[in-house]
Homo-oligomer: A and B are copies of this chain.
Amino acid sequence: MPRPKFSDDLRAQKRELILDAAMAVFEKEGGEHAISLRRLATELGLSYSAPYRYFADKQELVNALRARAFRWIEAEMREAIVGLSEPEQQLESLAAAYIRGGLAHPHRYALMFFALDQLEVAKRSIELKAAKRDALDVCTQVIAAGQARGDFPRAIDPLTASHLFWIGAHGLVSLQVAGQFVMGRDVKRLVPTLIQALRTGLEHADTAVKTVPAKEKRHA
């Protein structure tokens, strides 16, 4: 009877349009604080409060961007392992892609991992949680496959091992991206050392986990 909704399709399309503009501003100016809903809207030829028809508030918009960023890093990682059949190579290429991608896009990386204020919002976003899970799954799958083939030790379950690798890669990237310490050019030389250290360490980790009996773990 009334004026019908914008066929949900068009609506989502417009949402994406706003997100595109937001992402553009984000990438160019850098940082989520460079994003202004007002500026965003006026640049799109809309009134300054138009975004509120598509997003409850700024946090929701930024959160959508965050999900996009996770989709991107997932794609980077997936792309890095196509064509590689050896889990060993896959893992190495995966880590390299992750680190390279993160270092190449500091603000995007910060968007994903440097958000502390939006914790509750992020927890409620199904989309974001799914994106995160899928990204981590890339790692988990590679490790699981490697374990199945007998290339990787089975002392640690794939999920925990993925966490450990992510910790290593993220520790490196996040420190570097935030300009901490002065590892400078030597970072490149640190990467293989770090990976190797984790790899070697985990192979001997049975002694470590022996002291800490493994408890069942669930994901999600």
Q: Which residues of A contact B (CB under 8 A)?
A: 30-31, 33, 100-101, 103-104, 106-107, 110, 113-117, 119, 122-123, 132, 136, 156, 160, 163-164, 166-172, 174-175, 177-183, 186, 188-190, 192-194, 196-202, 204-205, 207-209, 211-212, 214-215, 217, 219-220
Contact = CB atoms under 8 A, between A and B. Distances in A.
Contact of A175 (B113, B205, B208): B113
Main DSSP-derived SS at the A contact region: helix
Contacts of A136: 181
Nearest to A112: B180
Contacts of A199: 201
B164 A167 contact: no
A116 B116 contact: no
A212 B193 contact: yes
Contacts of A170: 171, 174-175
Contacts of A119: 178-179
A104 B218 CA distance: 11
Tell me how many chains of this kind the complex includes. Answer: 2
A157 to B, nearest CB: 11
A117, A136, A175, A182 — most chain B CB neighbours (10 Å): A182
A33 B117 contact: yes
A136, A181, A204 — most chain B CB neighbours (10 Å): A181
A184 to B, nearest CB: 9
